Chains A and B, each alone.
Chain A
Amino acid sequence: GQQVMQIPQYQHVQEGEDFTTYCNSSTTLSNIQWYKQRPGGHPVFLIQLVKSGEVKKQKRLTFQFGEAKKNSSLHITATQTTDVGTYFCAGNSNSGYALNFGKGTSLLVTP
C-alpha cells in the first residue's frame, strides 16, 4: 500500500533559524496536504497542493510539491516560538479516498 515517509522526526532550532521538513511517497499522489498540531491540540489544515511543481507561500511558510508528485516540503523562514508543533503531510493516491499521513516532524523552537 501507499506509504508516506516524513523526515526528520524531530528538529530543534533557535528562534530565527530556518526549518524544513520533507515528505516522500512510495506512489504518485493526486494531492498533498499539510497539517499543524500544537502540543496538546489537534491537527489543523494548513494548505493543499495539487499541481506538479506547485509552490505556495503563507507568510513565512513555503510549500512545494515535486515535479513527479511523489514528494513535498515545508520550509519555515526565521522560525518563531509560535511555530512550535508537529507538522504532518498527508496525501491521496490517484485511486484512494483516504489520506495517508506521514509520521510528522516535531519542531521545537527555543528563544
Chain B
Amino acid sequence: DGGITQSPKYLFRKEGQNVTLSCEQNLNHDAMYWYRQDPGQGLRLIYYSQIVNDFQKGDIAEGYSVSREKKESFPLTVTSAQKNPTAFYLCASSGRGQGYEQYFGPGTRLTVT
C-alpha cells in the first residue's frame, strides 16, 4: 500500500528533553511538510522540503529542526527550546511545486509534562 506513516501515534516526554517524530512516505513525492495543529488554530507550517538535502522554515520553525537525507523520510525534532511543544503534529507529502494535493499522515500527538 502506498502512503505516509507517522510513528508513534502518541508520545509522552518530560520537559527539557528533545524528541524526534518520524515521517516516512512511499509515494515517491519530492515535497514533504510538517504542520502543528492546536485547537482552533488550524494547521501551522513548521518546516517544508521540496527536495532531498534542502528544507525551508515555515511560519513557526523556532524550537524545531528537521533533516531530509532521504526522499522517503523527513524526521522532525522538537527541541527543549520549543516553549509549548504539546500539540498534534501532522506530516504531509506532495509533488514538487504548486498545485499538488497534499497527502497527510495519521499524526503524532505529543504531550510534554
Where the two chains meet, the residues of A that have a C-beta atom closer than 8 Å to any C-beta of B are 1, 6, 9, 30-31, 33, 35, 41-45, 48, 50, 88, 90, 92, 96-104
Tell me, rounded to whole Å, the shortest Cβ–Cβ distance linking A107 to chain B: 15
**Which segment of B19-27, B66-74, B76-84, B101-109 sits at the interface?**
B101-109
Q: Are B101 and A48 in contact (CB under 8 A)?
A: yes
6 other A-B residue contacts (CB within 8 Å) besides A50-B99, A98-B58, A103-B42: A42-B90, A43-B92, A88-B43, A97-B56, A98-B48, A100-B45
Q: With an 8 A cutoff between CB atoms, is B33 at the interface? A: yes
Chain B hits for A96, CB < 8 A:
98
Q: Are A9 and B40 in contact (CB under 8 A)?
A: yes
Interface size class of B (residues with CB under 8 A): 20 to 34
Tell me, rounded to whole Å, the shortest Cβ–Cβ distance linking B58 to chain A: 6
Tell me, rounded to whole Å, the shortest Cβ–Cβ distance linking B1 to chain A: 16
For this complex, 16 residue pairs linking A to B, each with C-beta atoms less than 8 Å apart, are A6-B42, A9-B40, A31-B99, A33-B102, A42-B105, A42-B107, A43-B90, A97-B31, A97-B48, A97-B96, A98-B33, A98-B45, A98-B48, A101-B43, A102-B42, A103-B41
Closest 4 CB pairs of A and B: A103-B42, A45-B101, A101-B43, A42-B104
Tell me, rounded to whole Å, the shortest Cβ–Cβ distance linking A72 to chain B: 15
